[in-house]
Homo-oligomer: A and B are copies of this chain.
Amino acid sequence: MTAMLVNGLPSNCIHTEDRGLSYGDGVFRTLRVRQGKPLNWQRHFAKLRHDCNAMVLDCPDQDILLDEICQLSANRAEAVAKIIITRGCGKRGYAAPMTGSHTRVVNCQPLPQYPAELYVAGIQTQVCSIKLGHQSALAGIKHLNRLENVLAASECHKAGLHEGLLEDEDRAVIGGTRSNLFLVRHGTLHTPELSLCGVAGVQRERVLDWADQHATECKIRRLQITDLLAAEEVFLVNSLFGLWSIREFPGYLRTEHPVATRIRNWLDKDEV
Which residues on A are within 8 Å of B, measured CB to CB? 2, 4, 6, 11-25, 28, 30, 80, 82, 84, 86, 92-96, 105, 107, 109, 112, 130, 132-135, 137-138, 143-154, 156-157, 169, 177-178, 197
Residues of B within 8 A of A157 (CB): 95-96
CA A262 to CA B67, docked complex, whole Å: 62
Tell me the smallest distance from the CB of A133 to a CB of chain B, in Å.
Answer: 3
A95 touches B150 (CB 8 A): yes
A22 touches B135 (CB 8 A): no
Residues of B within 8 A of A137 (CB): 130, 148, 151
B109 touches A92 (CB 8 A): yes
Q: Apart from A24-B146, A138-B147, what are 9 other A-B pairs with CB-CB below 8 Å?
A: A13-B13, A16-B105, A22-B144, A23-B150, A94-B154, A96-B153, A132-B135, A137-B151, A145-B147
Determine which residue in A82, A134, A150 has the highest number of CB atoms from chain B within 10 A of its CB, and name it.
A150
Total copies of the chain:
2
Q: Can you name 21 A-B pairs with beta carbons within 8 Å?
A: A13-B13, A14-B15, A20-B21, A21-B21, A21-B86, A22-B84, A23-B150, A24-B146, A25-B150, A80-B92, A82-B92, A92-B109, A94-B146, A94-B149, A94-B150, A94-B178, A133-B135, A137-B151, A138-B151, A145-B146, A145-B147
Partner pick for A94 among B22, B152, B169, CB 8 A cutoff: B152
Tell me the smallest distance from the CB of A65 to a CB of chain B, in Å.
Answer: 16
B177 touches A144 (CB 8 A): no
A150 touches B96 (CB 8 A): yes
A30 touches B92 (CB 8 A): yes
CA A112 to CA B92, docked complex, whole Å: 10
Residues of B within 8 A of A25 (CB): 146-147, 150
CA A4 to CA B89, docked complex, whole Å: 14
Residues of B within 8 A of A143 (CB): 147
CA A173 to CA B132, docked complex, whole Å: 21
B94 touches A144 (CB 8 A): no
Residues of B within 8 A of A133 (CB): 133-135, 197
